[in-house]
């Protein structure tokens, strides 16, 4: 079971480039048709340097480019079969656009037991910076771990 000693633990940074083809695939999957996400000219008309990413894309981008997408589960000894996705949050501080190269730095910020130890909630927060070192976003995900019942 994961305990408070995991709080503050960091994991391997992930570097990922915002590529138009992969972004288009993501937009198609969502059914997103807003031209500002698909057309650089429409994005520029909206005051952006290039087509921006939709809010949830950062989570996918970090997972797709990680050498070990579930590194934190392995490092904390968590069985993927016991994991549920609890919550996700995105706080943007600057636009993220096609052509950016982002670096994601994840760390555990909270571990909380619930239901008398039947489950553990783990919050992993990730800071994202772009190629210029600008802190563009913070993401947060809450992982719910169903703990094994004692025999």
Q: What is the CATH number of domain 4-146?
A: 3.10.129.10
What pTM, to 2 d.p., does this model score? Answer: 0.90
Instruction: Give the pLDDT score at 148.
Output: 79
Beta-sheet pairing, 119-129 with 135-146: antiparallel
Q: Tell me the per-residue pLDDT of 85-105, one tens digit each, with 9 for 90 and over.
A: 999 999 999 999 999 999 999
In angstroms, the CA 59 to CA 126 distance is: 9
**Which of 77-86, 108-117, 133-142 is modeled with the greatest confidence?**
133-142
Q: What angle do CA 105, 108, 114 make, to 5 degrees?
A: 150
Domain ranges of the chain: 4-146
In angstroms, the CA 104 to CA 23 distance is: 17
Q: Tell me the per-residue pLDDT of 10-50, one tens digit each, with 9 for 90 and over.
A: 999 999 999 999 999 999 999 999 999 999 999 999 999 99
In angstroms, the CA 136 to CA 126 distance is: 11
149: pLDDT strictly greater than 80? no
Count of alpha carbons within 13 angstroms of residue 150, beta-carbon side: 3
| Residue percentage of the chain with pLDDT more than 90 | 85
Q: What strands, in cross-sheet order, belong to the sheet with 101-114?
A: 14-17, 101-114, 119-129, 135-146, 83-92
């Amino acid at each position: 079971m994961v305990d408070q000693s995991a709080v503050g633990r960091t994991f391997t940074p992930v570097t990922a480039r915002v590529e138009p083809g992969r972004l288009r695939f993501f937009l198609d999957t969502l059914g997103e048709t807003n031209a500002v996400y698909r057309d650089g000219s429409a994005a520029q008309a909206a005051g952006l340097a290039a087509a921006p990413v939709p809010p949830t894309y950062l989570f996918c981008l970090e997972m797709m480019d990680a050498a070990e997408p579930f590194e934190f589960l392995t490092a904390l000894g968590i069985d993927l079969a016991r994991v549920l996705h609890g919550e996700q949050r995105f706080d943007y501080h600057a636009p993220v656009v096609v052509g950016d190269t982002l670096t994601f730095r994840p760390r555990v910020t909270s571990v909380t037991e619930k239901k008398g130890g039947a489950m553990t909630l783990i919050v992993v927060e990730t800071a994202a910076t772009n190629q210029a070192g600008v802190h563009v976003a913070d993401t947060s995900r809450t992982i719910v771990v169903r703990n094994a019942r004692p025999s």
